[in-house]
Structure 1
Amino acid sequence: MNAPTRPVFATCDLCDAFENDTTGSFRVLPPVFNDYGAIGKFCGPVVTLRCLEDNSRVREAVNSPGFLETPQGCVGRVLVIDGAGSLRRALVGGNLAAAAARNGWAGIVVDGAVRDLTELREAQVGIRALALVPMRTAKRDEGQADIAVQIQGTWVRPGDWLYADEDGIVVAAQALHN
């Protein structure tokens, strides 16, 4: 695997370019996510999960290849986790972040909590979440993959492209960069 390329983009510029979009193909996530990863700017095609306080599906995802080989090169994917905004248990911790980095994921966005801040900051992957909480999840082998999810009121679908930088997170129905 070649290292994923890191495209140049700015979410502010993307918002300026698509501010008049009325199709719903361009969406902005609310500014409620905190940056916990070593990579502050990331983008890629979306893989979705829905899981409440059980990270069994998250473990499966980050232990699988997180990249796609395309004619333009290797592209890291972004795992978007609908944790229903729960702050009771962390869906991603240091071990899962390290696995995501090792397997080529560009980033993880959690509508919920994460833990192990020192380890998250060492893993070479972008991580956004609502908050930190030290409690780990239960392991009940529950959750759904590859479905449309609503993240803080905004629809995110498998195959969408997610762009995250210091100004925020936007989602589009297709890649918006070269």
Structure 2
Amino acid sequence: MGVQTADLCDIHREKVQIADPVFKQFGKVRSFSGPIHTVKVFEDNVLVKKALQNIPEGSVLVVDGGGSRKCALLGDNLAHIAVTRQLSGIVVYGCIRDSAQINGMDIGIFAIGTNPLKSNKEGKGQENIPVQFAGVNIEPGYHLYADEDGILISENQLL
């Protein structure tokens, strides 16, 4: 990424939203940034997989899972799709599974926790809509910057 979130806050404080520190970091990539694509689902990851297969290279997938801790919305198979397609990273307001395998993969993922149970497969949810969680408003096309210090959201690209 080059510039860290702390530096971006110092330079662009009035242009960024800072997500509440409710996330844990997974994967080998410790910092990432890119244009945002969103899905909003609840305990169902069909649209998560679809987005991972279709959003442009270099993008960040933001998954509003409603903060549910009852099942995982992403595991190693879906993380592998993100790696293969060279996505920048993934933020999940929900849980992931297969964290040991994901921690060995070349992807950056933020999630609120882990759960070994897989999600439902009904295809319910919404794509490419504004979402709100962790104290930030996130819209498709905004830019996300993430590293060990946290997650920033900006309407415009800062780098």
Deviations 1:96-149 (A, max 9, x none): 000111011110000010000122112211100000111110001111110000
Is the CA contact (8 Å cut-off) linking 2:136 and 2:153 kept in structure 1?
no
The alignment's TM-score, normalised by the length of structure 1, stands at 0.86
Q: What's 2:101 paired with?
A: 119
Query: Percent identity between the aligned chains?
Result: 39
Which of 49, 66, 74 is residue 59 of structure 1 equivalent to?
A: 49
Counterpart secondary structure, 1:125: coil
Separation in 2, partners of 1:117, 1:139: 21
Separation in 2, partners of 1:60, 1:123: 20
Structure 1 counterpart of 2:106, one-letter code: Q
Q: Please, which runs of 5 or more residues in structure 2 have no aligned partner?
A: none
Is the CA contact (8 Å cut-off) linking 2:37 and 2:55 kept in structure 1?
no
Structure ID, larger Rg: 1
Q: What's 1:73 paired with?
A: none
Spell out structure 1 runs of 4+ moving beyond 3 A.
Answer: none
Structure 1 counterpart of 2:36, one-letter code: V
Deviations 1:44-87 (A, max 9, x none): 000001000000000111122541xxxxxxxx100000001000
Q: How many pairs align?
A: 159
Q: CA RMSD in A?
A: 1.1
Which of 27, 31, 43 is residue 33 of structure 2 equivalent to?
A: 43
Separation in 2, partners of 1:77, 1:167: 20
Q: What's 2:130 paired with?
A: 148
Q: What's 1:17 paired with?
A: 11
Counterpart secondary structure, 1:43: strand
Is the CA contact (8 Å cut-off) linking 2:64 and 2:94 kept in structure 1?
yes
Counterpart secondary structure, 1:13: helix
Q: What's 1:71 paired with?
A: none
Separation in 1, partners of 2:153, 2:127: 18
Q: What's 1:80 paired with?
A: 62
